[in-house]
């Protein structure tokens, strides 16, 4: 059981110059006195809490502590009310700036098909290459379709990132994760500061090749997405295989190179094809001057995929194809069509893609909602690109897309005001779902974009609140980011970072986001330990509890995007 404290704070650091809040658990109807103490124990500020009453998401009676007025940079501060004392925290931008790079470092650790080199990660995290056909490992260099499909070919699909704690590589999830890293860079270039993302900023093999490291990391995945395309001359040429993973689930722990399971390609799907088309098109404009030949190759692959998807508009992934890997099935591809058209139009300017954008039922920001976007709903990604990259769409339509972003952000802010532990996330019935932390981070991105487009402080403050929720101001009292905070997650569901099961293996490196509270309790461990939990408390830091404590590339891409943004907006 975690140590408890009745005061929940961002356990890492509060940005100087910006609002600072914490949550006290108390049924008192009247305000209580809070004291902020320095690391030496001296009272440096004091004030009154604001009683907030019963909080639905946590099931607790809470007060808000607002210590924004105190703004001296330092470490080891604590908040105290009566006999309760919080975890120590900093007032500093250092931790947030470190998080920006830690969150991106995750992706190198997840690389498949290459040894993870001690030179970049230290001896603890180094490991041999996975899935390169060194026994007992099966390689991704010669992978057949599922035996019942008889497609008559094999593909070399080495590389890419492992999706999560398992060794699957799923195009629809890998695509949105790569898109988000590329968008992190593209937004920074156009609306912020990309200098912290340049060459030499990450500990990766490409750190001195003259190309921004965030692009190098994303390319590792983009190249894999291209490899998943059905070759010319085959039926469904141009379509993209939905995923590649083990024939059977493996046990925990299993190091990638020790996985002995046969590898299988699942059939092509319209969703995967459009996902690759979108990301390859996006990448083609980012590499246009960096590597023109690569850029042209990406554009050609994207256009071929898009045409193939139009010819096969309802090739859906099998919802029962879930042995040895996640299903990632999705019945609605209107959003993937819109997203791909938006990326292709933004990169090529071609009339045909423009017509597909303006003719879509999702045009003008229809996709934004308070639930958020994920691998199954990608329309918002297209809108974000349309709002960011200059184009010749009618000014009123672009304004409508930006208005959809700010309206959604306003709706998040209105809801967060009523929450004891403010997080931009909502479902119709108040439940929390698988990967809720990823949605919180993505909705934090919407708040951040609302600030980028309007420069209104309330949106910036909301984006920071989302990050502070992830860093410990939550009823589980965990920092959901490994290595950040006084009580960070340590036992995430992962086949290599499985220290809890085998002490010779490491825990997660710093900067890894846990999936977070899931009131569906969709694994036996969560079901056993968390029965009856209130939505925001349905969390346990147990390696077996994969429905609440797994890691995933699409959640860490959301964390990385938001971390870069808050680091950029931290004043010192």
Catalytic residues: 166, 493, 541, 550
Report helix, strand or coil for 214: helix
Shortest distance in whole angstroms from residue 435 CB to ligand 9MR: 5
Q: Output phi, psi for 164, to 5 deg.
A: -160, -135
Among 60, 102, 140, 166, binds ligand 9MR (CB under 6 A): 166
Q: x/- contact string, 430-449, with ligand 9MR (CB under 6 A)?
A: ----xx--------------
Number of Cα atoms under 13 Å in the Cβ half of residue 547: 17
The pair of three-digit structure tokens given for residue 19, joined into one six-digit string = 């609002």
Comparison of 130 and 435: residue with beta carbon closer to ligand 9MR: 435
Residue 493 and residue 500: Cα distance in Å, rounded? 10
Work out which of 130, 326, 462, 488 binds ligand 9MR, going by CB under 6 A: 326
294 burial (CB, 10 Å; 0-12 / 13-18 / 19+) is middle
**Contact between 338 and ligand 9MR (CB under 6 A)?**
no
Between 424 and 438, name the residue whose CB sits nearer to ligand 9MR: 438
Q: What is the CA radius of gyration of the chain?
A: 23
Q: Work out whether 384 is an interface residue with ligand 9MR (CB under 6 A).
A: no
CB of 519 to ligand 9MR, least distance (A): 13
Q: Report in angstroms how near the CB of residue 151 gets to ligand 9MR at its nearest.
A: 23
* Site for ligand 9MR contains 550 (CB under 6 A): yes
| Residue 281 interacts with ligand 9MR (CB under 6 A): yes or no | no
If binding is defined by CB under 6 A, does position 280 make contact with ligand 9MR? Answer: no
Residue 246 engages ligand 9MR in binding (rule: CB under 6 A): no
The 8-class DSSP code of residue 429 comes to T
Stretch of 164-172, 218-226, 268-276, 482-490 lying at the interface with ligand 9MR (CB under 6 A): 164-172
Binding of residue 163 to ligand 9MR (CB under 6 A): yes
Distances (CA, A) of 62 to 7, 9, 53, 277, 503: 10, 13, 6, 47, 39
Residue keyed to tokens 């809108």: 383
Are the C-beta atoms of residues 168 and 162 closer than 8 Å to each other? yes
Nearer to ligand 9MR, 178 or 230 (CB): 178
Q: Is 259 in the site for ligand 9MR (CB under 6 A)?
A: no
For ligand 9MR, the closer CB: 168 or 365:
168
Among 164, 286, 340, 344, binds ligand 9MR (CB under 6 A): 164
Cα 267 to Cα 38, 170, 288, 317, 318: the distances in Å are 59, 12, 31, 7, 9
Please give the DSSP secondary-structure letter assigned to residue 124. G
Give residue for tokens 């007060």. Answer: 63
Region 465-524 residues binding ligand 9MR, contact defined as CB under 6 A: 515
To ligand 9MR, the closest distance from the beta carbon of 340 in angstroms equals 21
Find all residues with CB under 8 Å of 123, minimum gap 6, and list them: none
Which of the ranges 112-120, 159-167, 418-426, 524-532 carries the binding residues for ligand 9MR, by CB under 6 A? 159-167
Q: Are the beta carbons of 279 and 219 closer than 8 angstroms?
A: no
In 3D, which of 503, 567, 457 has the Cα closest to residue 101?
Answer: 567
Shortest distance in whole angstroms from residue 555 CB to ligand 9MR: 8
552 is a contact residue toward ligand 9MR (CB under 6 A): yes
Minimum distance from CB of 163 to ligand 9MR (Å)?
A: 5
Shortest spacing between CB 56 and ligand 9MR, in angstroms: 23
Tokens of 299: 């554009």
184 binds ligand 9MR (CB under 6 A): no
Residue 227 binds to ligand 9MR (criterion: CB under 6 A): no
Residue 6 or 515: the one with the smaller Cβ distance to ligand 9MR is: 515
Question: Is the link from the previous residue into 265 a cis peptide, with omega within 30 of 0?
Answer: no
Helices (H), 367-522: 379-388, 395-417, 436-454, 457-470
Q: Which residues lie across from 13 on neighbouring strands?
A: 90
**Treating both helix axes as pointing N-terminal to C-terminal, what angle do 351-358 and 334-348 enclose, rounded to 10 degrees?**
140
d(CA 334, CA 249): 32
Residue with smaller CB distance to ligand 9MR, 434 or 497: 434
Residues that bind ligand 9MR (CB under 6 A): 163-164, 166, 168, 326-327, 434-435, 515, 550, 552
């Amino acid at each position: 059981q975690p140590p408890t404290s009745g005061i929940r704070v961002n356990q890492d650091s509060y940005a100087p110059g910006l609002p600072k809040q914490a949550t006290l658990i108390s049924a008192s109807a009247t305000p209580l006195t809070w004291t902020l103490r320095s690391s030496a124990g001296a009272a440096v500020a004091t004030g009154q809490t604001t009683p907030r009453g019963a909080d639905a998401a946590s099931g607790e009676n809470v007060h808000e502590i607002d210590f924004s007025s105190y703004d001296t940079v330092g470490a080891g501060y604590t908040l105290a009310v009566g006999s309760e004392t919080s975890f120590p925290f900093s007032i500093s931008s250092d931790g947030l700036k470190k998080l920006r790079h830690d969150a991106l470092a995750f992706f190198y650790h997840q690389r498949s098909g290459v040894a993870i080199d001690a030179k970049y990660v230290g001896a603890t995290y180094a490991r041999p290459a996975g899935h390169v056909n060194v026994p007992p490992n099966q390689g991704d260099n010669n992978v057949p379709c599922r035996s019942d499909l008889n497609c008559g070919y094999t593909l070399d699909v080495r590389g890419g990132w492992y999706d999560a704690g398992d060794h699957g590589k799923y195009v629809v999830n890998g695509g949105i994760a790569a898109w988000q890293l590329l968008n992190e860079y593209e937004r920074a270039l156009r609306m912020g500061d990309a200098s912290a993302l340049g060459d030499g900023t990450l500990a990766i093999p490409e750190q001195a090749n003259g190309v921004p490291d965030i692009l190098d990391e994303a390319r590792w995945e983009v190249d894999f997405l291209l490899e998943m395309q059905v070759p010319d001359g085959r039926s469904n040429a141009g379509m993209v295989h939905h995923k590649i993973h083990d024939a059977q689930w493996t046990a925990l722990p299993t190091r990638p190179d020790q996985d002995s399971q046969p590898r299988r390609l699942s059939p092509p799907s319209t969703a995967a094809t459009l996902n690759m088309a979108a990301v390859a098109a996006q990448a083609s404009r980012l590499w246009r001057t960096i590597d023109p030949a690569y850029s042209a190759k990406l554009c050609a692959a994207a256009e071929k995929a898009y045409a193939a998807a139009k010819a096969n508009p309802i090739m859906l992934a099998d919802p029962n194809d879930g042995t040895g890997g996640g299903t990632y099935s999705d019945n609605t591809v209107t959003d993937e069509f819109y997203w791909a058209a938006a990326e292709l139009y933004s990169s090529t300017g071609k009339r045909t893609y423009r017509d597909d954008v303006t003719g879509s039922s999702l045009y003008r920001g229809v996709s934004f909602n308070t639930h958020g976007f994920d691998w199954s709903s990608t329309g918002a990604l297209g809108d974000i690109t349309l709002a960011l990259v200059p184009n010749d769409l009618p000014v009123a339509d672009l304004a409508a897309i930006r208005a959809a972003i700010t309206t959604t952000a306003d709706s998040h802010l209105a809801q967060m005001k009523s929450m004891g532990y403010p997080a931009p996330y909502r479902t119709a019935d108040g439940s929390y779902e698988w990967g809720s932390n990823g949605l919180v981070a993505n909705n934090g991105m919407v708040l951040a974009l609302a600030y980028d487009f309007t420069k209104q402080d309330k949106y910036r403050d909301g984006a920071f609140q989302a990050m502070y929720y992830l860093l410990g101001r939550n009823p589980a009292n965990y920092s959901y980011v490994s290595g950040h905070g006084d009580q960070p997650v340590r036992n995430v569901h992962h086949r290599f970072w499985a220290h809890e099961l085998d002490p010779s293996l490491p825990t997660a490196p710093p900067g890894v986001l846990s999936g977070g509270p899931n009131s569906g309790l969709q694994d036996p461990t969560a079901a056993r330990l968390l029965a009856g939990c209130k939505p925001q408390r349905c969390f346990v830091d147990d390696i077996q509890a994969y429905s609440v404590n797994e890691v995933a590339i699409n959640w860490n891409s959301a964390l990385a995007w938001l971390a870069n943004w808050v680091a950029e907006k931290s004043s010192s």
